[in-house]
Amino acid sequence: MNRRLLVVEDNKDMCRVISDVFEDGDFSVCTVHDGETGLQRLKEEDYDLLILDYRLPGKNGNFVLEQARQIKSSLPVVMISAYGYDARKSGVMKKGVSEFLDKPFSLDTLTAAVEKALGRKV
């Protein structure tokens, strides 16, 4: 079963790494580099998981998260950030983020977070 993963991350190298990891499995991965485009993709297509950076150009991850909840409230979200202080983490976790990963993180940590968010082994 091919799962659809949307990655909203402004760092193109990070997007490439995430794509490489999950496209080797049973995922089809779409990457975008700003919040506005991410929201547009969520409106146009159905995804099984969202990996979302907190700091993005234009609309930040918190805003994208709030809008994503209105588009598809049940969408699992893994948030990533190099700026993940406790109050920020707590705030987004209350909005239903499955996992919040501090950059830099290992690919094993990311894979485990995705597994947990989807409730299964990747």
Structure token digits, residue 21: 């990891």
Domain count, the chain: 1
CATH number (domain holding residue 114): 3.40.50.2300
The pLDDT of residue 122 is above 80:
no
Which one, of 85, 95, 108, 82, lies nearest residue 50 by Cα?
95
The pLDDT of residue 119 is above 70:
yes
Q: What's the domain range around 38?
A: 3-118
Residue with tokens 């947990």: 116
> Model pTM greater than 0.85?
yes
Q: pLDDT of 71-101, one tens digit each?
A: 999 999 999 998 766 767 777 778 888 899 9
Averaged pLDDT for residues 2-6: 94
Contact in structure between 80 and 54 (CB atoms under 8 Å): yes
Whether the upstream peptide bond of residue 104 has omega within 30° of 0, thus cis, is yes
Averaged pLDDT for residues 24-41: 93
d(CA 11, CA 62): 17
d(CA 43, CA 68): 9
Task: Work out the percent of the chain whose per-residue pLDDT is above 90.
Answer: 71
